[in-house]
Amino acid sequence: MRGWLAALLLAALSACAAMPERPPVGDRDAAWLARTRDLGPLDSWEIRGRIALRTADEGWQASLLWLRAKDRHDIDLVGPLGSGHVRLRQDASGAELRDSAQQILRDTSAENLLQRATGWQLPVNGLGYWIRGLPAPGVASVRELDEWGRLRTLRQLGWQVEFLGYERLDSLELPNKLFIKRADAGNRQSLDIAAGNDPTLEFRVVIDRWVPRH
């Protein structure tokens, strides 16, 4: 486990060093509003990368392929928990999880399915917005912007998201490294344990290929 943690730390440090070399914007709030207008309509993409998850007792990593076409999500995880290949699909009719043994689970949402399959409550719905550098709409949040009017940190849905790197794709700048952990884990510990959730849960997403679709 130490190997992948070291690799992800090195990637995070590299992201910090690779921040765009351009002057900070004069009005961060105006730049932020422009970003939300540009990124809000983005609802189709191809993402290839890696995800690593850690709790107090264990950790795993997997390659990630996330194809989205409007309301339909197809997420492939290869390597999680030694299970080989997990395919997660969600659309307007609900969610389906298929493992490497071709066993199928169905539920109303991908979040419910992953909790049934792994025992962990992961913020899949929020991640669909955070991966674009946006907060989920209609939900309270606290944000910190960087010098270019992009999200640096976000607290929402009981999670804290750190945006460790961005990449420019045509006119868009999209996150390519995120670190996500439970917010106020120390204060929530007894409540989360009682609910069956691990308050130390944290995960990292590294995107190697970001392809917006129109």
Query: Which CATH number covers residue 153?
Result: 2.50.20.10
Q: Which two tokens stand for residue 13?
A: 């440090």
Report pLDDT digits (tens) over 69-104. Answer: 999 999 999 986 546 788 999 999 999 999 888 889
Helices (H), 18-131: 28-39, 110-118, 124-130
Going by pLDDT thresholds of 50, 70 and 90, the confidence category of residue 19 is very low
d(CA 108, CA 131): 22
Number of domain units in the chain: 1
- Structural domain span for residue 70: 2-18+25-212
Report pLDDT digits (tens) over 145-182. Answer: 999 999 999 999 999 999 999 999 988 999 999 999 99
